[in-house]
């Protein structure tokens, strides 16, 4: 039986995800921005969480953990490098650890950049990637704690995964990301088509998450900094990918659209 996944909108633009293994009845919650929203979703499904998987230390990803942990007694698994900043952690992990949720297995990737200790979880068999604030639909997180080229290397690690991987990111930022993306990759037809789809989905208040990694590889400029078309479009023809990535990350920081 396939894993069951539920996307849980939290706060103004965060997502938590519920993941259930039907074989064992194990249930993981990936990040807990808002305990009330997560508990309500669990109660609706009548699922009892056995694990909480944490991606990084930011408050909007961890603040609901104590309430969920206290209510259900789930084991909290998260980044070893940020353990001091996540007081509720039971199990500390980092690359190349494997996390088990019942019979489901996730490889842990260290993806420094947004925070120094950010990790992503990849359920290889189920083709699910939990990328939180490292890789967004059509975007990436701000490089708060490591220079942009370090974040670029982290994104390259994720880009190696198969095209049919479903990408669950931590925020609904896709419309703003799409509007920015067309400014740095104006000739990308697949991107324009995707922007139109995203506008339609958001106008109907539908989530744009998950996307597939294949779509991201074709349309997300932050995964395409080594494509000469992007370097040319931003006036950096011949520049290396890390420099192009740094420039588009900086442009996004000040983009209003
Ligand atoms: Zn964050
Ligand atoms: Fe966040």
Upstream peptide bond of 96 is cis (omega within 30 degrees of 0): yes
In degrees to the nearest 10, what's the CA dihedral of 105, 106, 108, 114? -160
pLDDT of 1 strictly over 90 = no
pLDDT of 114 strictly over 90 = yes
- Higher local confidence (pLDDT), 257 or 98: 98
Kindly give the distance from the C-alpha atom of residue 144 to the centroid of ligand 2, in angstroms, as a whole number.
Answer: 12
Kindly give the distance from the C-alpha atom of residue 117 to the centroid of ligand 2, in angstroms, as a whole number.
Answer: 14
pLDDT category of residue 198 using cuts at 50, 70 and 90 = very high
Q: What is the mean pLDDT of residues 1-20?
A: 96
Q: What is the mean pLDDT of residues 63-86?
A: 98
pTM above 0.95, yes or no: yes
Q: What is the mean pLDDT of residues 53-60?
A: 98
Closest ligand (CA of 144): 1
Kindly give the distance from the C-alpha atom of residue 118 to the centroid of ligand 1, in angstroms, as a whole number.
Answer: 9
81 within 8 A of 93, measured Cβ to Cβ = no
Written as six digits, the tokens of 239 are 């520049």
Kindly give the distance from the C-alpha atom of residue 245 to the centroid of ligand 2, in angstroms, as a whole number.
Answer: 20
CA angle 64, 37, 99 (to 5 degrees): 55
Shortest CA distance to 224 belongs to which of 190, 253, 197, 173?
A: 190
Q: What percent of the chain has pLDDT over 70?
A: 100
Shortest CA distance to 46 belongs to which of 4, 77, 13?
A: 4
Q: What is the mean pLDDT of residues 66-88?
A: 97
> How much is the pLDDT for 70?
97
Residues annotated catalytic, as ranges = 56, 58, 60-61, 114, 133, 171
pLDDT of 6 strictly over 80 = yes
Closest ligand (CA of 171): 2
Domains of the chain with bracketed CATH: 4-90+97-253 (3.60.15.10)
Q: Which residues 6+ apart lie within 8 Å of 212 measured at CB?
A: 163, 164, 165, 166, 167
Q: How far is CA 174 from CA 19, 133, 137, 170, 178, in A?
A: 22, 12, 6, 11, 6
Kindly give the distance from the C-alpha atom of residue 189 to the centroid of ligand 1, in angstroms, as a whole number.
Answer: 30
Instruction: Give the Cα separation of 217 and 199 in Å (integer).
Output: 20
């Amino acid at each position: 039986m396939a894993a069951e996944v539920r996307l849980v909108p939290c706060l103004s633009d965060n997502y938590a995800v519920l993941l259930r293994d039907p074989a064992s009845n194990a249930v993981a919650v990936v990040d807990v921005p808002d305990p009330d929203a997560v508990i309500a979703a669990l109660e609706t499904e009548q699922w009892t969480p056995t694990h909480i998987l944490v991606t990084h230390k930011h408050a909007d990803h961890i603040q609901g953990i104590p309430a969920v942990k206290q209510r259900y007694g789930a084991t909290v698994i998260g980044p070893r490098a940020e353990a001091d900043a996540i007081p509720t952690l039971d199990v500390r992990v980092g690359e190349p650890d494997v996390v088990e949720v019942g019979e489901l297995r996730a490889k842990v990737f260290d993806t420094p950049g947004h925070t120094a200790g950010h990790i992503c979880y990849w359920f290889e068999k189920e083709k699910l990637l939990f990328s939180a604030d490292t890789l967004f639909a059509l975007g990436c997180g701000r490089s708060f704690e490591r220079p942009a080229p370090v974040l670029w290397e982290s994104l390259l690690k994720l880009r190696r995964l198969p095209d049919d991987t479903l990408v669950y990111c931590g925020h609904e930022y896709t419309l703003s990301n799409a509007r920015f993306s067309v400014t740095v990759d104006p000739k990308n037809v697949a991107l324009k088509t995707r922007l139109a789809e995203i506008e339609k989905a958001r106008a109907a208040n539908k989530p744009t998450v998950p996307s597939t990694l294949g779509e991201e590889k074709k349309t997300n400029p932050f995964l395409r900094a080594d494509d000469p078309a992007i370097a040319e479009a931003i006036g950096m023809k011949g520049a290396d990918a890390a420099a192009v990535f740094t420039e588009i990350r900086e442009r996004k920081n000040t983009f209003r659209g």
